[in-house]
Amino acid sequence: MITVKQLSHHFVLGKKKQETTLSVLQDISIQVNKGEIVTIVGKSGSGKSTLLNLISGFIRPTEGEIWINDQKVSNFSEAEFADFRLKHMGFIFQSFQLIPSMTAFQNIELPLILNGESESSRKEITLAILDKVGLKEFADHYPSELSGGQQQRVSIARALVLKPPLILADEPTGSLDSETETELLQFIKELNQEMGITFLIITHDDEVAAIGDRTITISDGCIVEGVKSR
């Protein structure tokens, strides 16, 4: 599903004549197999979120290659990657990233609109996904009217609505209490087992890391271990 080959990345800080190069990742190579849950852990500043942003195509690597579904996405233009993300990736964020002026239904429906689905098809698919995440009765509620766990479920529903084979999650439980976190992690495992979705999850939480088939640890921009966790 994902192959990263000898990936390195640095940021250039400051203006010309006073530029400083900050190396974030050095010679990273990983593979995520179809149907796996892989968790990436590391301290703040270790480079794990940068790695996720590189795989997502939001930033471009300084060196190395990224392959997803046998396509070399690191060579894509911005427009090509935007189209690829829409069709092949779903995203779950710590801060939910829901549009506050839209209802739960409208937030979930948005990718379908961008994908050119008809109105009748959008309604059917969106209601089915809302039912899947247990929020059908909250379809007309705005994010401010939902709990943190409910908002994250809307975020997951939006990530699922185009049936992507891959979901990338950045600290997906970081804004949740411990009980809601446990429920959400169980839901992620169910989605993985029932739908075969591949998950790549960035976390600093041991409980989140424990749901992975493998856990990859990053320290100071380098992989230090990748171990079985279940």
How many C-beta atoms lie closer than 10 Å to residue 205's C-beta? 17
- pLDDT at residue 227, as a whole number: 53
3-class secondary-structure state, position 139 = coil
Mean pLDDT, rounded, of the chain: 89
Taking residue 173's Cβ as centre, other Cβ atoms within 10 Å add up to 25
The string of pLDDT tens digits covering residues 6-49 is: 999 998 887 777 778 888 899 999 999 999 999 999 888 889 98
In this predicted structure, what is the pLDDT of residue 89? Answer: 92
Question: pTM here?
Answer: 0.85
**E-strand spans in 56-120?**
63-68, 71-72, 89-93
Q: In the chain, what is the straight-line distance between the N-terminal and C-terminal CA atoms, in Å?
A: 20
Quick check: helix, strand or coil at residue 1? Answer: coil
Residue 92 in this model has a pLDDT that exceeds 60? yes
Query: What domains can be seen in the chain, in order of their start residue?
Result: 33-60+88-228 (3.40.50.300)
For the segment 142-155, the average pLDDT, to the nearest whole number, is 91
Which range among 137-141, 191-195, 206-210, 226-230 shows the weakest confidence by mean pLDDT? 226-230
Whether residue 69 contacts residue 165, with contact meaning beta carbons closer than 8 Å, is answered with: yes
What's the rounded mean pLDDT across residues 115-125?
93
Q: How many CB atoms lie within 10 A of CB 217?
A: 18
Longest dimension (CA), the chain: 59
Model confidence at 229: pLDDT above 60? no
Most confidently modeled of 88-97, 99-108, 197-206?
99-108
pLDDT tens per residue, range 70-85: 999 999 999 999 999 9
